[in-house]
Amino acid sequence: MLMVNADDKNADGSTERVKAVLRNQATDGIDIHRTAAIKALSRIDLNGSVFVFIKALLDEDEDVRADASEALVRTGDKRAAKQLHENLLGDPAAQVKLNAIDALAVMGHKEVIPLLRRLLKGRDEEIVWDEDEFYASEWDDWTDVQLHALKALGTLRAQDAVPDIVEALGDMDTHDIMETGFRVLASLGRSGIEALGAFLDHADARCRRRSAAVLASSRSPHAAAAIARALSHKDADVRYACGGALMSIDPADARVKILLADANPAIRAAMASGCLQHHRDMAAILIKDPDTAVRRAVYQVLAAVPDLLDAKTALVALEADRRADDEKTAAAAIQASMVIAPDDLRPQMIEELADENVAVEIRLAILKALENDTSEEALEVLIGNLAVDKRQLRLKSMTALARMAANAPWPNMAGDALLSALRGELIPPPEMPEEKEPDVVEADFDNKNEPEPEAEADEDAQEEAQEDAEPDIPQSTLAAILSDDPVIAEVLKKKTETVGLSPQDMEFLQIATDRKKKNERRRLSPDPVVAPYQDVRRFAARLLGDVRRSEVMQALGEALSDPDKEVVRIAADSLTHFEGKGSDEAEAVTKNIIAALAITDPETRVFLIRALGRMGGEDAVETLRALTQDLDSYIVAEAVEALDFLGRGDPDLAALLDDNAPRVRLAAARMIAGLQDDAFIGDLVDFSLAHDGYHRREGGRLLRRVNPEAANAQLLAILKDASRKIEWLSVIETLEEINVQKDSISVA
């Protein structure tokens, strides 16, 4: 623990005192301390340290000048304009030049406009450039300066610079500035808009598209004529770029209506998807469009906005496409029909959903249309789909069941089905054939049983063909169920992070890999084929995490003894969604977790510890405290975090603040900070500075929560101690995090 005398304990630890000390460091400290102090002041006292930043623009260290000029960009204080202009001319550091340009633009320093216009064309002789850096890195700083000068001219509303900008954009070999240049032109009034409109007929296709999109996005009153020209342009890409930009701003914009009748069917389809509901008079025309993609787009809008058309008119148009050869079109027509007339079509749709001869695309569309149908007939079909070979259909059926289980009064048929799936009752594992004793083959010691070259070549060819072949349907959860279904997207977000390996694990893994690398020819597939009986159980364990019922929690606890480690991990992760906190229902689950902790591998134990932290109870706390003595740092860190979550932080665990593993130190620091005890301020200061300040920023954020003034006092005392100068950089950055202004706080 940090030892300080009584005077230091009673020293001024106010933020004002911290600012004063940092200003001194920014002026009189060594280069790395000056840089750190400037950065800290830019977050702690941005507007109050302007003169410190201005003075730092003359610092001998270019990093200090760069950080000071960056701070002045944020202040926009015009008192720095003169010195920034001088730095732009005479400072060889590229970053200082860029910051100076940005800052002068923010300040509205119009005196710099002539120089910026010249910088659009090339290196200006009035400016000092770092020639040595150019030859060393082979990168021309002027390229970056040109882009910043272009943006600055837009900020300064320099309309006289329009010809210079057009000239700079004339070199289309450098597309880097095209988008920025067009946006700047769009901001420069009538002359800029007219210049931008001229690019609609440029020889370069990308130039035409981008200029059209920027024109439509400009909202300039001078752009109407150019936009009208873009919407009727002979280039379909120009029409779409302009219409798409207008639609993104306001889908009800009357100008985009012309594209709903465009000659290009791809444009009609895209515009129908985005804005048809705002131009309803076009729906009756487009639903009879000769192009299937256009009709499909209309059907998708109709499914979301069923009153888009008269029901009778819509159903007549949908009838033919419900049986279309194109599966995507038929699926869209079915979804729209089910929204418009669900009662009339439900029996037929339920029958087709259960028919394995119906295309998967169609069955998926029916499933989505029936996702809120809680009738027994629909549920039976969904449950039956859990055994089909098509993984996409299995998983979407389970997702629909999970939604019903969570929303319907408990208990319910959908929830019972998921629980049965978790237990392996719905789809039992296949019977394994009896193993036959292998034929005894006499070893050929002379040839060492090496394969024939032809056989090996054939095997390689087969493997390559298998790797290159595209599967009929996606085989991974991500590829199979990634869709516009928000529930499925939410499920995917909950994918559990894997636990990293310890240094010892990495060493053993490398040894094993080196031994096998010589003979290894196969690639691991990112989308492994999972047997339905395994897939259903694992996905059920995942989905049940959103069904917050005591029976579900108990079933997940019982699954922790399953021989399938993946089921155990997922079930444990799902249990983290329940907060038993020592309730009677959680007691049995706690026992399940503790039993599983004794027999499973280290990676699975991490998931179990997280679940234990949600269940709570004295048995859980006792087990977690014992695990803080484990040899595996991941286990220790998780156990500490679980205790912290339960509000059972242990002061004795402050010893872990100096653990060899960073993750353990950080977990312990968060727990100790949560105790809100000033007695541990010194320990947290030590934690922040130890190991070369590895946790200085995390430590500063924690100290800010506990007692910032007391922490400031102790850290300022260290800045007075020349014998600890090696720690001063960490001290400055810790002080920065403790005293940062609220509007400068970044996400930790």
Which region among 5-14, 255-264, 487-496, 576-585 has the lowest average model confidence (pLDDT)? 487-496
- Rounded CA Rg of the chain: 34
**Within this chain, do residues 415 and 488 fall inside the same structural domain, yes or no?**
yes
The per-residue pLDDT for 601 is: 86
> What angle do the packed helices 376-384 and 391-407 form, to 10 degrees?
140
Would residue 84 count as lying in a domain?
Answer: no
Asked whether residue 387 is domain-assigned, the answer is: yes
Neighbours of 315 (CB within 10 A): 17
Neighbours of 652 (CB within 10 A): 9
Tokens of 601: 């591998």
Give the model's pLDDT for residue 122. Answer: 85
Cβ within 8 Å of residue 563, ≥6 positions away: none
- Show the tokens assigned to 151: 């943006």
Banded pLDDT at 521 (limits 50, 70, 90): very low
CA distance linking residue 511 with residue 521, whole number of Å: 18
- 361-408 pLDDT, tens digit each: 999 999 988 888 888 999 999 999 988 888 899 999 999 999 999 999
Position with higher pLDDT, 584 vs 234:
234
Burial of 412 (0-12, 13-18, 19+ CB in 10 A): middle
pLDDT of residue 141: 80
Question: Out of 440-444, 533-537, 573-577, which region has the weakest mean confidence (pLDDT)?
Answer: 440-444
**What percentage of the chain reaches a pLDDT higher than 90?**
70
Range 451-472 burial, b when 16+ CB lie within 10 A, else e: eeeeeeeeeeeeeeeeeeeeee
User: Is it the case that residue 290 has pLDDT exceeding 90?
Assistant: yes
CA distance 136 to 153: 30
Does 317 share its domain with 404?
A: no
- Assess whether pLDDT exceeds 70 at residue 515: no
Q: What is the pLDDT of residues 273-283, one digit of tens each?
A: 999 999 999 99
Cβ distance 268 to 259 under 8 Å?
yes
* CA distances from residue 601 to 233, 643, 683 in whole angstroms, order as listed: 65, 21, 34
**Residue 394 and residue 506 share a domain:** yes
Look at residue 10 and tell me whether its pLDDT is greater than 90: no
Give pLDDT, residue 654: 96
Is pLDDT at 478 greater than 80 in this prediction? no
Q: How far is it, in rounded angstroms, from Cα 402 to Cα 577? A: 15
pLDDT greater than 80 at residue 139: no
CA distance 284 to 305: 14
Residue 329 belongs to some domain of the structure: yes
Contacts of 116 (CB under 8 A, 6+ apart): 101, 149, 152, 153, 156, 158, 161
**In this structure, are 331 and 382 located in the same domain?**
no
Query: In this model, does residue 589 exceed pLDDT 50?
Result: yes
Q: What is the pLDDT of residue 476?
A: 42
Each residue of 654-689: pLDDT tens digit?
Answer: 999 999 999 999 999 999 999 999 999 999 999 999
Query: pLDDT value at position 498?
Result: 44
**Contact between 664 and 633 (Cβ < 8 Å):** yes
Q: How far apart are CA 33 and CA 732, in angstroms?
A: 8
Write the DSSP string, 50-111: HHHHHHHTT-SSHHHHHHHHHHHHHH--GGGHHHHHHHHHH---HHHHHHHHHHHHHHT-GG
The residue with greater pLDDT, 601 or 726, is 726
CA dihedral 458, 459, 461, 464 (to 10 degrees): 180
pLDDT of 557 higher than 70 = yes
Which of 130-134, 209-213, 263-267 comes out lowest in average pLDDT? 130-134
Which domain does 508 fall in, by range? 371-426+475-515+528-547
Both 274 and 375 in one domain: the answer is no
Those residues with Cβ within 8 angstroms of residue 231's Cβ, 6 or more apart along the chain or in another chain: 239, 242, 243, 255, 256, 258, 259
Q: Is residue 127 very low, low, confident or very high in pLDDT (cuts 50, 70, 90)?
A: confident
Task: Answer yes or no: do 507 and 400 share one domain.
Answer: yes
Out of 342, 362, 393, pick the residue that ends a domain. 342
Q: Does any domain span residue 437?
A: no
Whether 331 and 378 share a structural domain = no
The predicted structure's pLDDT at residue 1: 42
In a domain, 192, yes or no: no
What pLDDT score does 432 carry?
A: 62
Output the average pLDDT for the chain: 86
Residue 742 clears pLDDT 90, i.e. is over it: no
* 229: in domain: no
- pLDDT computed for residue 387 by the predictor: 87
Q: How do residues 637-657 score in pLDDT, each as one tens digit?
A: 999 999 999 999 999 999 999
Q: Is it the case that residue 499 has pLDDT exceeding 60?
A: no
| Mean pLDDT value of segment 81-89 | 96
Residue 290 inside a domain? The answer is yes
Number of separate domains in the chain: 2
- Domain end, chosen from 304, 322, 342, is at 342
Res 528: pLDDT: 55
**More confidently predicted of 745 and 33:** 33
What percentage of the chain's residues is helix, strand, coil (to nearest 5)? Answer: 70, 0, 30
Residue 337 and residue 375 in one domain = no
- Position 86 scores a pLDDT of 96
Q: Which residue has the higher pLDDT, 470 or 593?
A: 593
Nearest to 657 by CA among 618, 612, 649: 649
Q: By CB neighbour count within 10 A (0-12 exposed, 13-18 middle, 19+ buried), where does 619 fall?
A: middle
Tell me: pLDDT of 345 over 60.
yes
User: Is the same domain home to 486 and 533?
Assistant: yes
Compute the distance between CA of residue 574 and CA of residue 731 in angstroms, rounded to an integer: 41
Give the separation between CA 486 and CA 5, rounded to whole angstroms: 59
Question: Is the pLDDT confidence value at 506 over 70?
Answer: no
Residue ending a domain, choose from 322, 342, 362: 342
Residue 195 has pLDDT above 60, yes or no: yes
Confidence at residue 235, expressed as pLDDT on a 0 to 100 scale: 96
pTM (2 d.p.): 0.79
Determine the pLDDT at residue 520.
42
Distance of alpha carbon 653 from alpha carbon 666, whole angstroms: 12
* Residue 417 and residue 487 share a domain: yes
Give CA–CA dist 249/220, Å, rounded.
13
Does residue 336 sit in the same domain as residue 380?
A: no
The verdict on residue 254 lying in a domain is yes
- Quote the pLDDT of residue 362: 92
Query: For the chain, how many residues are written?
Result: 748
Are residues 418 and 306 both part of a single domain? no
Read off the pLDDT band of 582 (50, 70, 90): low
User: Poorest-confidence range of 339-343, 349-353, 369-373?
Assistant: 369-373
- Residue 558: pLDDT over 90: yes
Q: Would you state the structure tokens that stand for residue 605, as one six-digit string?
A: 């134990």
User: What stretches of 576-707 show up as alpha helix (H) in DSSP?
Assistant: 584-597, 602-615, 618-627, 633-645, 662-674, 681-693, 696-706
Contact 504, 530 (CB under 8 A): no
Whether the CB-CB separation of 63 and 35 falls below 8 Å is answered with yes
Coil, helix or strand at residue 60: coil
